[in-house]
Chains A and B, each alone.
Chain A
Amino acid sequence: MACHATQGSSLKVSSPPPEKGHQALRRLALVAVLAPALAGCADAPDHAAEKTRRARQMRDVARMLDAMESSHPSVVVALNPTSGRRADAPPPRRSAALRKSDDTPPSRWRWPFVAGGGGLATLLAVFMRRRRRQRAPTTEAPSVAPFFAEATDATEATEAPIVAEPPPAPPVNPTWVYRKTSFETPGLHMIPSAVDLLVPKYDPALVDTDTGSTYLRAFLADAAAGHGPFLIGDMRCPRLRRADATPSHLLAWRDLLMAQVDDDGDDGRLARWILPSLEVELAGDLPHRDAVNRLAAIEDEARARNARTTHAEPAFAASLVSLRLARIARMSGATRLFALRALAAEGSGTNDACVLDAHIDVLLAWSSWSLAATASARLDDADAAARRLATFEGDWSARAQHRHGDIRARRAALHRASDGRHDLAEAQRLLDDAYERVPDPETALLAARTAERRARALPPKEAATACSDALVYAFLAEQHPAWRSDAIACRHDIQHLYESLPHDPSPTNDETP
């Protein structure tokens, strides 16, 4: 705008009447000083249009200076495109103009000199400012984004006059800044270590003694490495998961636990809690009769250790559940049923969340060894226990939701395939919700298996969708080493199932319509 105003002003004064020439020169000088000064002092934006405007402004100023130096009316008139005398006028000569200017009085020459000096000073100031700006280091890191934005500004660029600009020098050692665009791949929501109990955060509520409970966990984690065994579940009553641990790995853990088992602190409590489960795993590698005898001895030892402790363990019964279930699994006939009844009766009235969770394990095991209506009745009992579990504070509500989903999936197995679809769909919903509350790999793997079972019961198109859901959950479960082997096996099953689905032939270019 300043540029246009300047040009307009020069046009207005280009043909002044003779009697007003003095005033016109004064105005011209004032405009010549102010306009470049304003243009030079303004903090011009760094884009092409602004640069173009500045170049044009500089060109106009140069023309004005030439016009002032000549001060020949014919030259000024020649600038007026509406004047018809341009073709007739002789070309201006600088010597003639200088001679003619000698005839003007000194008072008339004062303003042009002031204007010319001001203009030169302004030009000098602008030139120096630009030199400084070029030397000053850039504060903003280079980005590739403006290169992609050129296309969007193409319309504006074509409207602006073409000005020969020197290409910007390539920066040395650029620092690339990647800005988000709508084309980038969305990030995968992944929890790398959903349940990592081996290095727990410090929680004063869980530490009773000055020694803390992290030492044993740290040692166990070192011994477990990536193969296992692992501690999973709630921190207060963790469960043992063997994963890929060999007997030698289990024995290494047993040595660590035995060294702490008589301790009165948290390490001792943890050792006494885990040891029965570990012994069960070791006994599982023995022949049947030896295993039965060993399991009986383990239970006796665990009870004796608990009796020696100074502090009563309210959840001691829960620590023995895996042991007693292992013994029951080796029973046959009605003997197993009677033992299950006795074990279930012990945990039915508990007010401890750990014991109640273990009680659900008993009911689910009982259900798995039952058939038809009897199995369904045990699942009803487990559902009722899970509802009670949901009333406990902390993550127990999510655990209860996991249990409800598991129970529903087991219920589906009791029915015909067509009748089980609804149960599987409901189980999937419950497990989705449980994983949303607490994203642990155990729930993810169960959800993957449930989705796989759904896929087997659904028509091909819906089965493909269920397969993709199952794959996502299997992948999530695979991220935790405690569940990796099972999750990989699950993923392979899903992939085989998906490949066996009858897919619609997709149209190709080779096919004729």
Chain B
Amino acid sequence: MSTKSHAGEATPPFWSTRYGIATTVALDNAAARSLHAYGEWAEQETTLLSALLDEGQTVLEFGGDFAAHALWMAQVVGPLGQVHLAEPRRIRFQQACANVAINGLDNVFTHPVWLGRGKGQASLASLTPAGRAGTDEKVRIATVDSLRLDALHLLKINLSHALVDVLAGAGETVRTHRPLIYARLTGLDEAQSEVDAIKALGYRVWSHVPYLYNADNHSGSDINIFPGMVQQNVIAAPADGRFEFADRLEL
């Protein structure tokens, strides 16, 4: 089974990735290109987070990335755990749902919402100023607290320009469950306010800078399509906890 691209080349409908099957998508973003070229996305993130997760735990991920990480997280937490995936963009949400469905992940729950500081609707362009032209759409806004999760061990935020608002709407959940927080920083202008927002919740914050290219990638490709490219991420843990990330730079 194959589909025809605009150039007339036959493309397979699925990509075989490290943690399951993924539907073929347009290569207009880094995650899609990585899945296509390497069969994985941000594997160094996975290396860190898989050392933190355990069976029976609950994860909330904001920004689906085609469920690339939901595939492995669902296996890590197992049938007793849960993975909640929030994706506000309509097509991206559907693509993520497709990947969840074709991999038979019963413990993954998808939510077509933008996680913010309140409830309502807004245009995506107003929420993500760096969005590409022509991609604007109306999205539904909800808070983390409104999801009423029974447990939360990891809050993973992939979308830029979202961290401060997500935390603003997650006050009760964070106070109750004290999850680990892993987030991608937006950029130079907002990094300080985002880190301060995490610390305001009583957390300690460490830096994590994973390379996008993994030499030991699933496809065995030696071609680095992300030369020198890293993500500026942070991992945060409650300050009243006993654990240390001694080999990380604390911010």
> How many pairs of residues, A versus B, come closer than 8 Å at their CB atoms?
66
A333 to B76, CA, bound (A): 11
Name the one of B46, B220, B241 contacting A333, with C-beta atoms under 8 angstroms.
Answer: B46
Q: Does B18 contact A (CB under 8 A)?
A: yes
Q: Does B19 contact A (CB under 8 A)?
A: yes
Contacts known (A372-B243, A416-B242, A419-B242); A334 close to B72, Cβ less than 8 A: yes
A373 to B243, CA, bound (A): 8
Contact with A along B51-69 (1 / 0, CB 8 A): 1111000000000000000
A298 to B72, CA, bound (A): 28
B43–A332 touching, CB < 8 Å: yes
A372–B214 touching, CB < 8 Å: no
A369 to B215, CA, bound (A): 19
Contacts known (A333-B47, A335-B18, A337-B76); A288 close to B216, Cβ less than 8 A: yes
Contact with A along B69-109 (1 / 0, CB 8 A): 00011011000000000000000000000000000000000
Closest to A416 in B: B244
| Distance between B40 CB and nearest chain A CB, rounded to angstroms | 7
Q: Which residues of B contact A414 (CB under 8 A)?
A: 242-244
A334–B54 touching, CB < 8 Å: no
A373–B50 touching, CB < 8 Å: no
Name the one of A288, A331, A415 contacting B243, with C-beta atoms under 8 angstroms.
Answer: A415
Q: Which residues of A contact B244 (CB under 8 A)?
A: 414-416
Q: Does A377 contact B (CB under 8 A)?
A: yes
Interface size class of B (residues with CB under 8 A): 20 to 34
Q: Does B157 contact A (CB under 8 A)?
A: no
B51–A369 touching, CB < 8 Å: yes
Contact with A along B239-250 (1 / 0, CB 8 A): 001111110000
Q: Which residues of A contact B216 (CB under 8 A)?
A: 288, 330-332
B51–A370 touching, CB < 8 Å: yes
B242–A374 touching, CB < 8 Å: no
| Distance between A338 CB and nearest chain B CB, rounded to angstroms | 7
Contact with B along A347-376 (1 / 0, CB 8 A): 000000000000000000000011111110
A414 to B48, CA, bound (A): 15
B51–A332 touching, CB < 8 Å: no
Closest to A414 in B: B243
Closest to B72 in A: A334
Contacts known (A371-B245, A414-B242); A333 close to B53, Cβ less than 8 A: no
Interface-centre pick from A335, A369, A375, A416 (highest chain B CB count, 10 A): A335
Q: Which residues of A contact B44 (CB under 8 A)?
A: 332-333
Name the one of A334, A371, A374, A413 contacting B75, with C-beta atoms under 8 angstroms.
Answer: A334
A333–B18 touching, CB < 8 Å: yes
Contact with A along B199-213 (1 / 0, CB 8 A): 000000000000000
Q: Which residues of A contact B43 (CB under 8 A)?
A: 332-333
A374–B54 touching, CB < 8 Å: yes
A372–B46 touching, CB < 8 Å: no
Q: Does B180 contact A (CB under 8 A)?
A: yes
Q: Does B237 contact A (CB under 8 A)?
A: yes
A372 to B216, CA, bound (A): 26
Q: Does A56 contact B (CB under 8 A)?
A: no
Interface-centre pick from B180, B220, B244 (highest chain A CB count, 10 A): B244
Q: Which residues of A contact B243 (CB under 8 A)?
A: 371-373, 414-415
Q: Which residues of B contact A288 (CB under 8 A)?
A: 215-216
A372–B18 touching, CB < 8 Å: no
A415–B52 touching, CB < 8 Å: no
Q: Does A336 contact B (CB under 8 A)?
A: yes
A334–B19 touching, CB < 8 Å: yes
A370 to B216, CA, bound (A): 20
| Distance between A287 CB and nearest chain B CB, rounded to angstroms | 11
Q: Give B residues with C-beta under 8 Å from A.
A: 18-19, 40, 43-44, 46-48, 50-54, 72-73, 75-76, 180, 214-216, 220, 237, 241-246
Beyond contacts A334-B76, A337-B76: 6 other A-B pairs, Cβ-Cβ < 8 A, are A332-B46, A332-B214, A335-B18, A371-B48, A372-B180, A414-B244
12 CB-based A-B contacts, threshold 8 Å: A332-B43, A332-B44, A333-B18, A333-B40, A334-B73, A334-B75, A338-B75, A372-B180, A372-B237, A373-B243, A413-B246, A416-B242
- By Cβ-Cβ distance, the 5 closest A-B pairs, closest first, are A333-B46, A334-B72, A372-B243, A334-B50, A371-B51
